[in-house]
A and B are shown apart, each in its own frame.
Chain A
Amino acid sequence: AQSVAQPEDQVNVAEGNPLTVKCTYSVSGNPYLFWYVQYPNRGLQFLLKYITGDNLVKGSYGFEAEFNKSQTSFHLKKPSALVSDSALYFCAVRDANRDDKIIFGKGTRLHILP
């Protein structure tokens, strides 16, 4: 069965610094990978996806993620953090060769310090 690990419960970054939120996954087939964000007291919003193609994918709000097949990772990055990026971030995976389950990680809370 597919699984997702987000090893950090919380990440603190100073405003203006680059940020990375880590995600590793396990699937038996080809992965479809996603990042979602949840702002306080709001719903979940899609940020970006990797289905196929370039390993570096760009998404909303200046975020990007790099698919690394050998390390089974899909880390979320942003070159310069904003205070408004503070939120809960979820990585998700679907095993394209197995079934249509979409499994989420436990989430990483990102705090951007002014």
Chain B
Amino acid sequence: NAGVTQTPKFRVLKTGQSMTLLCAQDMNHEYMYWYRQDPGMGLRLIHYSVGEGTTAKGEVPDGYNVSRLKKQNFLLGLESAAPSQTSVYFCASSYWEGVLYFGPGTRLTVT
């Protein structure tokens, strides 16, 4: 089992460009989450999903969109990247009780 995988691992964008981060899990988890990690800010929840076809806003959703068309995939989109979105992005999945299985992260730099 691969667990939770994230694509890509690194990306550099120019301000205003768009991109999609892909998260995939093979554990048949219902719940999936996107977080960003910034120094001194901990992990902040961007969006999450409690099942295929559902999404909900987290703590810092502005500037991001998500989709969960298939149970195993959770996509995070940046429509118009800004330098403030420079961060490390982590995807995670879980069963109902909430123990999170994290992906390896995507390091995004917006110049």
Contact = CB atoms under 8 A, between A and B. Distances in A.
A107 B39 CA distance: 10
A102 B33 contact: yes
B31 A100 contact: yes
A100 to B, nearest CB: 5
B97 A51 contact: yes
B98 A32 contact: yes
Contact of B48 (A9, A44, A45, A100): A100
Interface residues of B, number: 26
Nearest to B50: A100
B91 to A, nearest CB: 11
A36 B31 CA distance: 18
Interface in A1-52: 6, 9, 32, 34, 36, 43-46, 49, 51
Interface residues of A, number: 23
A101 interface: yes
Interface in A49-65: 49, 51
A102 B45 CA distance: 8
A34 B42 contact: no
B48 A43 contact: no
A74 interface: no
Contacts of B41: 106
Contact of A49 (B42, B44, B45, B99): B99
A49 B98 contact: yes
A92 to B, nearest CB: 8
B100 A46 contact: yes
B53 to A, nearest CB: 15
Nearest to A104: B43
Contacts of B44: 104
Contacts of A44: 43, 90, 92, 100, 102
Interface of A: 6, 9, 32, 34, 36, 43-46, 49, 51, 90, 92, 94, 99-107
Given A46-B100, A106-B42, 7 more contacts: A32-B98, A49-B98, A49-B99, A92-B43, A99-B56, A100-B48, A102-B98
